[in-house]
């Protein structure tokens, strides 16, 4: 099960966050900061799956933007990895050559709408 | 009031903020504007305001005042409003707010709307944050939508149904009829979500699972769909890097896994397709690997034939050789899961796994370490241990503790020789000494005592290690204990295994004294070294130096050291005649159940009081009374169990035997006596005074039976006059075998503080040849030594 999806830039600013489980606002910011720190400190040749507390993080870097997905332990990590890429490709098609700015400006609404569906990674038809 | 700014403007403004404080200011200003706009009930711009609010919420600022506005938006007729309203509801509301129930009616209406997009929105929202009450109310509507022919709605309804089932498991039955023809759809969206729904149902309820296996012929349907996916050519709609809808494939494989687990028929049906997927999938891209990974997991979980399993493990082996870290990580994780069941197959990949220990990535290293420990066996122990010790040297501190305990366990199970074992443990102590667990010190000591022929070698190596480095406490503790025990071997220079080193007594004492004064030593270590110095007084000839050291510490600030020093001082002065016996070599310790409390052994009286004794000793700590000094000495010579509670009771039994030795020394043997002899039952008393308190007499009764039949339900009871105290412990058994074939023993402890003549009344009950027998008797013929 996907627990959350985050898009964070290298400075640590959250561009998009979508939680699929109720998490209090006060806990979100430290969680995001922690997760981002974890991912930013990883080197290029390390694998993209990190064990964090009681779930796993699957992250992928696209230029200056990190997309982090928090999944439960029983998920197929490679599959989620593919999903992230698929999602980015969809955005690319939609915004024609998506960049971080698109993410910041149009994203909050459009992309959140993309992530509207509950997290069973149904294809975004 | 001017029109509120658009979302884009807001974002642009916020981005220009340089500091956190500036950003907060802007946000607050905007929030105020939004709030006043809400108050004015401005319909036109409500949508825009809520959008801005959602953005601010995403940045982490509180936005709860927008919740009601979301509801108003949902109720409006415009699609754009509804869209933002539902999005807001999903982000801002959850079942903890009471407001969400107000949405129920809106959602109900929208579920029956004419436009499918509105219906879709409602389904999504319900599926995202619906509470159990809402789900209960609206489940019927969802179920209706599950049966429509509109695939757009069907897939959303399926996902919503999953959420409903999660919230209210009782409603699962309701969705069952609708699932019948879900899988005959062509649309992949519907297929995918139906598979999810079926998976959820199967996971939640074993009844459902059984139902699906038998009645629905689910497995053949899934196999068919999967086959179509693989076999069909390029389909532009579903293609991801050359593979047709990998997400659906992975989902189906997972459902197959659940269906096939511990079910032979289903597993049979899917063998072929799994083999096909495993061989036909292209592995050049990550997508292919994702599918293969899922296939491997499925093969491992169901009851597959061995050929298939070998295929799976080979795939994992191939993954390990891949350059991509992600894939290696995934392979190591799965191998860890399968190593229990398919041990031999995994062994083939051992060298690759060991190579992964050297990888830079932390997660991979951890996995490789766990897997390596799982793969160690008698054959490869030497090679593996070399690699693992090398890993221990170079790894991060977070791994060291686990690695060290793993090494100990493996060494214990598979050590090819004692010398190797000791070498390995020493290596661990020198490299990762501060990370080992506390109980490794007594374990190691026990191991060393047991390997008698290695004593000289061990003590020599430990001594050399001490000369190098005294900062690792477990090493220092073990070393000082050994030097104390085997110092004479060290000095005499006998060592077969290695070049003997020339060490003088003074050098040894220097080292031990160095430990006492060093800042690096913990109080525990100091205790060890003081005792070691004391023990050397019987083994070395330079007694005066030792006496001096001991008397210095008689006034140490550390209470523990002071107590020990004072007691040892007393040993020099008043009890010098006992010193050699007290400080003798420790006998070989029995390894009792590790980490568990020692049970009272009931075979005979001797080991028993010694195990019980240490429980009495801890409270006795005043060094004032000289008689008590003797008690403490006798107890304190167990080195550890009295004062440190971390040490398990193993040394206690050794100490106890030592106490027995003492007991026997001071005890002029009290003759045994026959207390009772009637009707074939004979009861003998034997006496010990193997305990520190001279007022306690320990009597062991031996009951023997010379008749032809066994005496069953044998119970022995005793009573003594008021000035005495009696403690009766459990007997060894309550059947006395016939014809003197065996005896039942039981221990009685009698406290006789006033040293009066011992008298006892005993009562015996037993069953002989089916009839119960009871008898009373008085025992007066106690030998005088037993109570004087």
The 3-class secondary structure across B719-783, one letter per residue, is: ECCCCCEEEECCCCCCCECCCCCCEEEEEEEEECCCCCCCCEEEEEEEEECCEEEEEEEEECCCC
Residue extents of the structural domains in chain A: 2-116
pLDDT for res B497:
64
Mean pLDDT value of segment B308-330 = 85
What is the bridge-based pairing of β-strands A65-71 and A55-62? antiparallel
Percent of residues, chain A, with pLDDT higher than 70: 76
Q: CB distance B59–A79 less than 8 Å? A: no
Q: Helix or strand or coil: residue B91?
A: helix
Question: Which residue among A20, A82, A121 places its CB closest to the CB of B290?
Answer: A82
d(CA B48, CA B65): 15
- Burial (0-12, 13-18, 19+ Cβ within 10 Å), B454: buried
pLDDT for res B635:
40
Query: Are the C-beta atoms of residues B537 and B583 closer than 8 Å to each other?
Result: yes
Question: Which residue among B91, B155, B326 places its CB closest to the CB of A78?
Answer: B326
B183-192, B504-513, B549-558, B652-661: segment of lowest average pLDDT: B652-661
pLDDT category, B481, cuts 50, 70, 90? confident
Q: CB distance A49–B289 less than 8 Å? A: no
Q: CB distance B127–A117 less than 8 Å? A: yes
pLDDT at B609 over 70: no
pLDDT for res B308:
87
pLDDT for res B612:
35
How many Cβ pairs within 8 Å bridge chains A and B?
Answer: 130
pLDDT for res B659:
42
pLDDT for res A106:
61
CATH number of this structure's domain A2-116, picked from the four choices 1.10.3720.10, 3.40.50.11540, 3.30.70.120, 3.30.450.60: 3.30.450.60
pLDDT at A118 over 50: no
Q: CB distance B325–A47 less than 8 Å? A: yes
- Contact A30/B at CB under 8 A: no
Question: Which residue among B95, B240, B360 places its CB closest to the CB of A45?
Answer: B360
The reply to whether ipTM tops 0.85 is: no
pLDDT for res B236:
78
More confident residue, B52 or B438: B52
Each residue of B359-370: pLDDT tens digit?
A: 777 778 888 888
Question: Which residue among B128, B163, B329 places its CB closest to the CB of A49?
Answer: B329
Alpha helices (H) in B168-305, listed in sequence order: 172-175, 188-204, 206-214, 218-231, 246-260, 264-280, 286-301
pLDDT for res B530:
86
- Contact A35/B at CB under 8 A: no
- Contact A33/B at CB under 8 A: no
A94-98, B374-378, B474-478, B515-519: segment of lowest average pLDDT: A94-98
Each residue of B25-50: pLDDT tens digit?
A: 888 888 898 888 888 887 788 888 88
DSSP letters for B609-669:
HHHHHHHHTTT-----SHHHHHHHHHHHTTSSTTT-SSS-SHHHHHHHHHHHHHHHHH-PP
Q: Helix or strand or coil: residue A66?
A: strand
**Interface with B, mutate which of A78, A101, A102 (most B CBs under 10 A):** A78
pLDDT for res B89:
85
**Interface with A, mutate which of B60, B118, B157, B238 (most A CBs under 10 A):** B60
- Contact A14/B at CB under 8 A: yes
Q: Which residue of B has its CA nearest to A7?
A: B58
pLDDT category, A89, cuts 50, 70, 90? confident
d(CA B382, CA B385): 5
């Amino acid at each position: 099960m996907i627990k959350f999806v985050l898009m964070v830039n290298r400075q640590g600013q959250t561009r998009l966050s979508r939680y699929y489980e109720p998490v209090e606002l006060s806990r979100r910011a430290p969680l995001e900061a922690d997760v981002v720190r974890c991912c930013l400190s990883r080197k290029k040749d390390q694998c993209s799956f990190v064990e964090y507390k009681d779930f796993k993080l699957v992250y992928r870097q696209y230029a200056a933007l990190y997309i982090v997905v928090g999944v439960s332990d029983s998920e197929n990590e490679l599959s989620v990895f593919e999903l992230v890429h698929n999602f980015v490709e969809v955005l690319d098609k939609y915004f024609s050559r998506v960049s971080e700015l698109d993410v910041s400006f149009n994203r909050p609404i459009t992309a959140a709408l993309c992530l509207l569906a509950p997290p069973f990674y149904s294809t975004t038809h | 009031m001017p029109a509120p700014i658009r979302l884009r403007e807001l974002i642009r403004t916020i981005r220009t903020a340089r500091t956190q404080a500036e950003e907060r200011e802007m946000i607050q200003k905007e929030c105020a504007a939004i709030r006043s706009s809400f108050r004015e009930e401005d319909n036109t711009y409500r949508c825009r305001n809520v959008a801005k609010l959602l953005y601010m919420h995403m940045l982490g600022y509180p936005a709860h005042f927008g919740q009601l506005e979301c509801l108003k938006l949902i109720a409006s007729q415009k699609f754009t409003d509804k869209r933002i309203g539902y999005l807001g509801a999903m982000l801002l509301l959850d079942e903890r707010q009471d407001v969400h129930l107000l949405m129920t009616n809106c959602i109900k209406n929208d579920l029956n709307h004419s436009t499918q997009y509105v219906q879709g929105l409602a389904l999504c929202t319900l599926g995202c944050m619906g509470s159990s009450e809402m789900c209960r109310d609206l489940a019927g509507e969802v179920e209706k939508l599950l049966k429509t022919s509109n695939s757009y709605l069907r897939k959303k309804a399926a996902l919503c149904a999953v959420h409903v089932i999660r919230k209210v498991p009782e409603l699962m039955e309701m969705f069952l009829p609708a699932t019948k023809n879900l899988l005959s759809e062509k649309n992949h969206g519907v297929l995918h979500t139906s598979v999810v729904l079926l998976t959820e149902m199967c996971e939640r309820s074993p009844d459902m699972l059984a139902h699906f296996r038998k009645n629905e012929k689910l497995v053949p349907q899934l196999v068919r769909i999967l086959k179509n996916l693989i076999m069909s050519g390029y389909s532009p709609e579903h293609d991801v890097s050359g593979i047709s809808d990998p997400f659906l494939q992975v989902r189906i494989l997972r459902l197959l896994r659940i269906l096939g687990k511990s079910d032979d028929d289903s597993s049979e049906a899917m063998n072929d397709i799994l083999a096909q997927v495993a061989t036909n999938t292209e592995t050049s891209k990550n997508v292919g690997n994702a599918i293969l990974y899922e296939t491997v997991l499925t093969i491992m979980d169901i009851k597959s034939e061995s050929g298939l399993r070998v295929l799976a493990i080979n795939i994992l082996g191939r993954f390990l050789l891949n350059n991509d870290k992600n894939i290696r990580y995934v392979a190591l994780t799965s191998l860890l899961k399968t190593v229990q069941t398919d041990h031999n197959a995994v062994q083939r990949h051992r060298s690759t796994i060991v190579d992964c220990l050297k990888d830079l990535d932390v997660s991979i290293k951890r996995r490789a370490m766990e897997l390596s420990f799982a793969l160690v066996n008698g054959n490869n122990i030497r090679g593996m241990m070399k690699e693992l010790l090398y890993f221990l040297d170079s790894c991060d501190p977070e791994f060291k503790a686990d690695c060290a305990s793993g090494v100990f366990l493996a060494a214990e199970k598979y050590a090819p020789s004692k010398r190797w074992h000791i070498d390995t443990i020493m290596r661990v102590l020198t490299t990762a000494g501060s990370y080992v667990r506390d109980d490794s010190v007594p374990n190691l000591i026990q191991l060393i005592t047991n390997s008698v022929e290695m004593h000289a070698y061990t003590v020599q190596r430990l001594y050399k290690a001490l000369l190098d480095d005294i900062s690792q406490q477990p090493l220092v503790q073990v070393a000082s204990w050994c030097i104390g025990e085997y110092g004479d071997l060290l000095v005499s220079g006998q060592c077969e295994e290695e070049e003997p080193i020339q060490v003088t007594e003074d050098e040894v004492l220097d080292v031990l004294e160095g430990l006492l004064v060093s800042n690096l030593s913990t109080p525990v270590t100091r205790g060890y070294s003081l005792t070691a110095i004391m023990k050397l007084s019987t083994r070395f000839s330079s007694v005066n130096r030792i006496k001096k050291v001991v008397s210095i510490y008689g006034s140490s600030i550390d209470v523990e050291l002071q107590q020990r020093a004072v007691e040892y001082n007393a040993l020099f002065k008043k009890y010098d005649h006992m010193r050699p016996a007290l400080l003798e070599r420790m006998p070989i310790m029995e390894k009792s159940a590790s980490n568990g409390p020692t049970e009272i052994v009931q075979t005979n009286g001797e080991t028993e009081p010694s195990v019980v004794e240490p429980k009495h000793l801890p409270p006795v700590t005043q060094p004032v009374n000289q008689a008590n000094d003797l008690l403490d000495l006798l107890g304190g010579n167990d080195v550890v169990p009295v004062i440190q509670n971390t040490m398990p009771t193993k040394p206690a039994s050794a100490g106890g035997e030592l106490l027995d030795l003492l007991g026997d020394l001071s005890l002029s043997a009290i003759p045994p006596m026959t207390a009772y002899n009637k009707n074939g039952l004979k009861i003998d008393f034997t006496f010990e005074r193997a305990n520190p308190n001279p007022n306690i007499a320990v009597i062991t009764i031996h009951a023997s039976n010379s008749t032809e039949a066994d005496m069953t339900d044998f119970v022995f009871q005793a009573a003594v006059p008021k000035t005495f105290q009696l403690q009766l412990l459990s007997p060894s058994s309550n059947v006395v075998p016939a014809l003197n074939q065996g005896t039942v023993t039981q221990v009685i402890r009698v406290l006789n503080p006033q040293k009066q003549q011992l008298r006892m009344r005993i009562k015996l009950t037993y069953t002989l040849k089916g009839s119960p027998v009871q008898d009373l008797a008085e025992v007066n013929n106690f030998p005088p030594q037993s109570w004087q």
